Amino acid sequence: MDRGDQLMDHMMKFDELTMEMATLGDEINEEDMLVILLGSLPVDFEPIIRILENMPGMNLMSAKEILRREWVRMQSRESSEVALKATRGRIPKKKYQQRAQNTGEAFSGKCFKCGQRGHRKSECRTRIEQNHLSRQSGEDDHAFMAVSYVEKNNWLLDSGVTSHMCCQKSDFQSLRNLDAPVKISIADG
């Protein structure tokens, strides 16, 4: 799978290939299919691949669902990163404006700025004078940027499937208080 490919498209191609092989009589067992699928993923999935490889009793269907959820999480992280670039300069005129100017005919419409006939808003003397005065008044140029980070409810997955952690009490059906504090260790420190 190339980095730019969509995970769902990749999984569909994978399923199509395995079905084609099965119809040709060359069936692959589920464990081998899981190894092939995990080996075909890009480096971005390396941490989740390691977790899936070490989970006892992992099957192909569960692995696909976990990969899909991880891919959705990665996509939401990428979409929340925002970049803004502010530049100043002339915007090229549109083709239809250039054609109208090249005909040699005078504009007979009404200006949207001052209401007089014979010129466009872009050619309006009132607008040009106001812009010139505002530039001389010492106003500074400003660029603003807003970034939004969406915090999702994330689960920490214990590869031994002995415990689960969540920051929302409402996600559990039943809870009990611990008698003593529990030390929590995670893979990356």
Query: Other C-beta atoms within 10 Å of 58: how many?
Result: 17
Cα–Cα distance, 144 to 86 (Å, whole number):
9
Q: What is the pLDDT of residue 176?
A: 81
Is the distance from CB of 118 to CB of 126 less than 8 angstroms?
no
Per residue in 114-142, is it b (16+ CB within 10 Å) or e — as a string?
eeeeebbeeebeebeeeeeeeeeeeeeee
Cα–Cα distance, 20 to 27 (Å, whole number):
9
Name the DSSP letter for residue 92: P
Burial of residue 185 (CB within 10 Å: 0-12, 13-18, 19+) is exposed
Whole-structure pTM value? 0.41
Domain boundaries, the chain: 7-83+148-171, 95-136
Q: What is the pLDDT of residue 106?
A: 73
pLDDT tens, position by position, for the chain (189 residues)?
A: 555 468 888 888 888 888 888 888 877 888 888 888 888 888 888 888 888 888 888 888 889 988 888 888 877 776 655 444 455 555 555 555 555 555 556 777 888 778 888 888 778 877 666 666 655 555 556 666 666 666 666 655 555 555 666 677 777 777 888 888 877 776 665
